[in-house]
């Protein structure tokens, strides 16, 4: 008997959050890391990322497969065919509430980086990768699309005390946005 590598949970979780959004009358958005494998209008890409409205009203022929998310959509009135590899999806969330799920950032530097020369470098690289976290936050005065921004994460355990250098989501309403916490 040959042991098969299990399939990724990412496409199943994307489909689940998409269904939850549509069942609750919310607008599902996908945040995507763009590279040469992603087929999207490049003029709408900011800092190597794009946010896509994947609601029923904004797309046609939407298929969320195990390997690719494919659909047709209009950008600036022009019909475009969109194809996103599932492993390039950074997050899926509801536009109205910001609730959803984020995924580990695909790291292009890992595939092209040289192997660490000693165990110290290897353990430091592993620790940095393990601490990469994304969180959804609501921000006030945000534009119509969500954005990703890097915020350093504290390396100290949370002891319940307030620390002024820790990033905090703003209080109040506003539009949801994604914030990358490293």
Domain borders along the chain are 10-181
pLDDT score at 6: 85
Ordered DSSP codes for 100-161: EEE-PPP-HHHHHSPPPSSHHHHHHHHHHHHT-EEEEEEETT--SS----EEPPPSS---S-
> Each residue of 29-65: pLDDT tens digit?
999 999 999 999 999 999 999 999 999 999 999 999 9
- The fold of the 10-181 domain, in CATH, is SH3 type barrels. (2.30.30)
pTM of the entire structure? 0.60
């Amino acid at each position: 008997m040959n042991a098969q590598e299990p399939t990724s949970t990412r496409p199943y979780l994307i489909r689940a959050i998409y269904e939850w959004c549509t069942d609750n009358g919310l607008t599902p958005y996908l945040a995507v890391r763009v590279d040469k494998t992603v087929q999207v209008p490049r003029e709408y890409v900011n800092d190597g990322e794009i946010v896509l409205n994947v609601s029923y009203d904004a797309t046609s022929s939407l298929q969320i497969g195990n390997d690719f998310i494919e659909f047709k959509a209009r950008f600036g009135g022009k019909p475009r065919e969109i194809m996103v590899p599932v492993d390039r999806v950074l997050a899926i969330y509801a536009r109205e509430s910001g609730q959803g799920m984020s995924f580990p950032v695909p790291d292009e530097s890992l595939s092209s980086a040289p192997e660490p020369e000693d165990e110290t470098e290897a353990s430091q690289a592993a620790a940095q990768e393990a601490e990469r976290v994304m969180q959804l936050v609501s921000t006030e005065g945000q534009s119509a699309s969500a954005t990703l921004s890097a915020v350093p994460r504290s390396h100290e355990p949370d002891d319940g005390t307030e620390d002024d250098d820790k990033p905090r989501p703003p209080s109040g309403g506003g539009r949801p946005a994604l914030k990358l916490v490293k």
